[in-house]
Amino acid sequence: MQKKTILILVSLLVAVAVAVVLAVTLSGGKTTDAKDGAGTDKNATPAPASSQKNWGTHFFENGGGGGIVTESSTEGKNKFIDPIWVAGGNPYGFMELSFSKDWLKVQFASFDKSWNFGGFNLAATTRGGVAKGHCWYIPRIPGTPGIKCKDSFDGPIGAPSV
């Protein structure tokens, strides 16, 4: 019964997180669009006001997709979106969300270099830690561009090559 309660609480927290992200991203005003698909640094500082879009939205795209292989998203640059960061290599990871009263912090996370994967033999796998990658702050105030976190790492991270 405890596991079911915990699962329900986690599901509710995820639903709240998604609702907060939507509320923040759809709040209107000019923002610098941020694309996250997992690290080529495309000038990870906010774009100048002249190149900011009027969508009032920060875009985060997770290009992993699942399955047998993972691959990074394409840059996706077009007249509507100015990509801030696209992952180097083919990392498998997720986006960690942290909230304060005024900011949403989104940080890419993946395997650190201490992992050693044993292929189909799970017992041969040496577990490691978490590598933190690109990080972006999204303000609550409409019309305010996002900013790069000071601890952002924009180089390739993820599972070591096999």
Asked whether the beta carbons of 91 and 110 are under 8 A apart, the reply is yes
pLDDT at 104: 93
Q: Which residues of the chain have pLDDT under 70?
A: 1-55, 62-74, 89-90, 159-162
User: Domain boundaries in the chain?
Assistant: 2-148
How many Cα atoms sit within 13 Å of 15 on the Cβ side?
6
pTM: 0.55
pLDDT at 144: 78
pLDDT at 97: 92
